[in-house]
Each structure stands twice: as structure tokens, then as C-alpha cells.
Amino acid sequence: MPVRLFGRARCYLRRSSAKQESSLEMQLDYAISAARQLGIPLNASQADLAYMLANRLTKYKDIYLDDAVSGTRTSSSSTS
């Protein structure tokens, strides 16, 4: 079972469709601001998000990304 790390933030960014162009950036801005206000370290930046999008990554540093991935397109092995 995965162990939860305390004292460190993570952010999960999601957009339902490509039509929500700036949605991910706005979500990340909010997460960075909230982590800062709470005094919790978050290893994430807009440059990290741009890198993830350019390289089609779903996890990088403290960012988890769901960029318009339909539930029907996810692997059944990821649910086990």
C-alpha cells in the first residue's frame, strides 16, 4: 500500500476537453497559491506543466495530470 507523505503538497489537474484551454494553468496557479498560503511545499510550476503537456506525461514532480482522458480510454490494469 502506498505511503502518504505528510508535509508536502500534491496537485491533481484535470480538464474534460481541449476546449478548456487555460483550465490547467488556472488550476495550477490556484494550487501553488493555496500551498504557499498554507506553508506546504509544492514542487510544481507553470514550466513543469508545459513540460508535461509537451511530453504527454501524467505525473511529474508534484503534479498529477488528467488532460481530457476519457474513462473508456484508461487501462483496466490501472484499476487493480
Instruction: Quick: pLDDT tens for 13-35.
Output: 998 766 666 689 999 999 999 99
Confirm whether 28 is domain-assigned: yes
Confirm whether 73 is domain-assigned: no
Question: Which range of residues forms the domain containing residue 47?
Answer: 11-68
pLDDT in tens, 50-65: 999 999 999 999 999 9
Counting the structural domains of the chain, the total is: 1
Cβ neighbours of residue 8 closer than 8 Å, sequence gap 6 or more: 40, 41, 42, 43, 62
What percentage of the chain reaches a pLDDT higher than 70? 71
Confirm whether 76 is domain-assigned: no
Confirm whether 22 is domain-assigned: yes
Global pTM value: 0.74
What's the one-letter identity of residue 43? Answer: N
Confirm whether 26 is domain-assigned: yes
pLDDT value of residue 44: 98
Burial readout 19-53 (b: 16 or more C-beta within 10 A, e: otherwise): eeeebbeebbeebbeebeeeeeebebeeebbeebe
